[in-house]
Amino acid sequence: AQKITQTQPGMFVQEKEAVTLDCTYDTSDPSYGLFWYKQPSSGEMIFLIYQGSYDQQNATEGRYSLNFQKARKSANLVISASQLGDSAMYFCAMREGGQNFVFGPGTRLSVLP
C-alpha cells in the first residue's frame, strides 16, 4: 500500500490566487514528520515546510502553510498569492520515527498569468 498519496497529478491556478495541494499519508507510528518539497523545471529539490506529528499548530513558512488534519491523515500544502515562479512539481514526503523518507508521486502546479 502506498504510504503517501497525492491525488492531483496536475493543478492550475491563476496568479495571485491561493491553491491547495493534497497529501494523505498512511502510518501506524505515533511519531512521524511530514514534509513538502518543490522541484522546479531546473531540477533541484527545495525544502518548503515541515509538520511534526506532535505539533499542535499548523506549520507556516511565508506564503506556504500546511493544513494538518491528523485524524484524517492529511497534510495539504496551501500556497497563498501564487506567483509564476511557483510553477513546479511539489512532493509530499513522510518520515516515520527514525526511518527514511517516503515520497508521494508529486503534483505538477502550473501558475497562469
Q: Which residues bind another protein (CB under 8 A)?
A: 33, 35, 37, 39, 42-47, 50, 52, 89, 91, 95, 98, 100-103, 105-106
Closest to another protein by CB, 44 vs 72, is 44
Shortest Å distance, C-beta 75 to another protein: 14
Contact 52, 68 (CB under 8 A): no
CB of 95 to another protein, least distance (A): 6
For another protein, give the closer residue by CB, 56 or 113.
56
Phi, psi (5° rounding) for residue 84? -55, -35
Q: What angle do CA 46, 90, 98 make, to 5 degrees?
A: 65
Q: Helix count (H) and strand count (E) of the chain?
A: 0, 12
- Kindly state the smallest distance separating residue 101's Cβ from another protein, in Å: 6
CA distance 99 to 80: 31
Q: How far is the CB of 19 from another protein (least distance, A)?
A: 19
